[in-house]
Amino acid sequence: MIVTDVQDQAIAARMALIVGADRFDQVFRAVRFDEVDGDILYVYAQDEDSAAEMEDEFALHISIIASKILDRQINVVLVLPRQLMKSDQ
């Protein structure tokens, strides 16, 4: 299931409320909540450092928020650098 632009923005907005504006701008800049495969949410971050930090510190928050917005259980949040994003998007 591809995450729509509205769902992507809704997840980002909720995360911004949790982490605050400054932290959001540091870690979540250019984030894309992209696709769900089973119970895995694929997220693309601006670079490897942001991806690692996002996955380590915020994966649980993201899974809870995404589960509610997408109306399906998200158990795993896989954050990858944007360079690994599929080229057809």
- Is residue 43 included in any domain, yes or no? yes
> In total, how many domains does the chain have?
1
- Cα distance between residue 83 and residue 70, in whole Å: 25
Contact residues for 82 (Cβ-Cβ < 8 A; gap 6+): 30, 32, 44, 45, 46, 47
- Is residue 68 included in any domain, yes or no? yes
Cα angle 40-43-44, degrees, rounded to a multiple of 5: 150
% of residues, the chain, pLDDT over 70: 97
- Cα distance between residue 55 and residue 4, in whole Å: 21
Q: How do residues 44-79 score in pLDDT, each as one tens digit?
A: 999 999 999 999 999 999 999 999 999 999 999 999
Decide if 23 contacts 61 (C-beta within 8 A): no
pLDDT reported for residue 87 = 59
Query: Of residues 86 and 82, which shows the higher confidence score?
Result: 82
CATH of the domain at 24: 3.30.300.180
pLDDT > 90? residue 39? yes
- Is residue 57 included in any domain, yes or no? yes
- Is residue 89 included in any domain, yes or no? no
- Is residue 58 included in any domain, yes or no? yes
Q: Write out the residue range of the structural domain in which residue 60 sits.
A: 5-84
